[in-house]
Amino acid sequence: MPAMPPFQQPGPGDSTRGRTPNPMWAQGVPATAYVGTTAQVARTRRRGAWFWVLISLAAVVVLLLSNCAGIVIGVAAAGGIPTQLAETQQALDDATVEVADAQSAEAEARALVASCEQEAEALQGDLDEAVAAAAAGGADLDTANARVTELEASIAGLEARIVELEASLASAQAAAAPAPAPAPPAAAPAPAAQAPAAPARPAPVAGSGSSSGGGNVYYANCTAARNAGAAPVYRGEPGYASHLDRDNDGVGCE
């Protein structure tokens, strides 16, 4: 059997118009072609396979790069973890101390409030007692003032009564006084060698009872003493009596 010439594909400039292909020519099939497929289908499938291979490789590369980046970031961050832990622990300790201080301050404030409440209760009790005492004292003061007013009115009435009685007594004494004695007749002229007789002193108004000045002269009051011309009356003189010398200074009816 003679050897068949190899199959040659038409070139870009070759034209197949007017040519009839030799059915005896062998059709060259690439080694990568699938059985039962044409050359065009084989090339299309080959390109699709390479596309997916490239996609897979790219995905693997991206995954590896991301893993490496994560490892690098983790290693870089691992160096700051102890510092962050120390800072966090310090902040926690500070917060604990602040909480303890706040609790202590709260306890002191509560104790102070309780003490103030007790002191306020004690002061309120003292105030209530003072108010009650003031009310009772006010009632007593009102009673005393009313009594003083009553006594002053009584004293004023008694003084007015005393004045009336003194006036009545003076009138009675004036009415009961004896008429003045007639003047004695003129005495005969005495001899030249005889001393003249002393003039007679008018006799004071006589009264009943005794006086501290001696004699029987008595003045019921200062009005009577003034009417008799004896005021003022000194202690030791006739007519002096204690009721005429109310301030007891030795001079009556000043």
Which tokens sit at 22? 């030799």
Do residues 227 and 174 make contact, with C-beta atoms less than 8 angstroms apart?
yes
Which range in 17-21, 25-29, 84-88 is most confidently predicted, on average pLDDT? 84-88
pLDDT tens per residue across span 44-87: 666 667 778 788 888 888 888 877 777 766 655 655 667 878 88
213-243 pLDDT, tens digit per residue, is 445 788 888 888 889 888 888 988 888 888 8
239 near 217, Cβ under 8 Å? yes
Beta bridge partners of 251: 234
221 phi and psi angles, rounded to 5 deg:
-155, 180
Q: How many CB atoms lie within 10 A of CB 226?
A: 15
pTM of the model: 0.27
pLDDT class of 197 with cuts at 50, 70, 90:
very low
Residue-level length of the chain: 254
- What average pLDDT does the structure give for the chain? 73
Q: What are phi and psi of 2, to 5 degrees?
A: -70, 150
Q: Determine the Cα–Cα distance for residues 236 and 241; give it in Å rounded to an integer.
A: 9
Neighbours of 230 (CB within 10 A): 22
- Can you give the residue ranges of every domain in the chain? 134-174, 222-252
Q: Give the pLDDT confidence of 123-166 residue by residue, as tens digits.
A: 998 898 888 888 887 788 888 889 999 999 989 889 889 988 98
